[in-house]
């Protein structure tokens, strides 16, 4: 156990004080592997609040991150802030409270699957590829009907046995 790690805390010290509040900004390099692209994580902040109970310690934490992402419609880069909280209970049978894994899990789940630069983002033209938020094109993208994939499909009709 690395007692000098700022994310590992001695259980007895917290019980003796009754509580502990920690604010940290760890190096983002240690969490960069959690995301799709290198450099996506720009800033990380942690708030850890420990409360001693009779025979356990409650950890209430908040992870805040600034992420550089790409709009799902127009593919333009954007930076957004996200945060999430977590709770953990540690029984009196542990000597150290290691918060590294719960912080990694919470940080890794911050990025949404789909992010937009704005709700009114027009995206890219499906024909020429320009960003329709910045330019207007003269392309006419045909919208296929619901059954457009079946257009031109020819079906063979089979005769029922016994009928000619």
Cβ atoms within 10 Å, residue 47: 15
Q: pLDDT by residue (tens digit) across 125-134?
A: 988 999 999 9
Q: Six-digit token pair at 75?
A: 């593919």
What average pLDDT does range 33-42 have in this prediction?
88
What average pLDDT does range 82-97 have in this prediction?
95
Computed over every residue of the chain, the mean pLDDT equals 90
Please give the distance of CA 124 from its chain centroid, rounded to a whole number: 24
Contact status, residue 81 vs residue 66, Cβ threshold 8 Å: yes
Distance CA 4, CA 19 (A): 19
């Amino acid at each position: 156990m690395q007692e000098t790690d700022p994310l590992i805390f001695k259980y007895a010290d917290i019980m003796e004080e009754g509580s502990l509040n920690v604010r940290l900004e760890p190096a983002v390099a240690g969490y960069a592997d959690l995301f799709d692209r290198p450099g996506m994580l720009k800033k990380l902040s942690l708030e850890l609040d420990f409360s001693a109970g009779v025979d356990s310690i409650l950890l209430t934490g908040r992870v805040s991150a600034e992420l550089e992402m790409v709009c799902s419609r127009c593919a333009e880069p954007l930076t957004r802030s996200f945060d999430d909280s977590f709770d953990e209970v540690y029984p009196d049978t542990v000597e150290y409270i290691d918060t590294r894994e719960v912080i990694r899990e919470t940080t890794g789940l911050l990025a949404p699957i789909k992010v937009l630069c704005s709700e009114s983002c027009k995206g890219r033209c499906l024909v020429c590829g320009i960003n329709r938020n910045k330019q207007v094109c003269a392309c006419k993208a045909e919208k296929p009907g619901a059954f457009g994939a079946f257009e031109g499909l020819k079906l063979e009709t089979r005769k029922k046995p016994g009928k000619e």
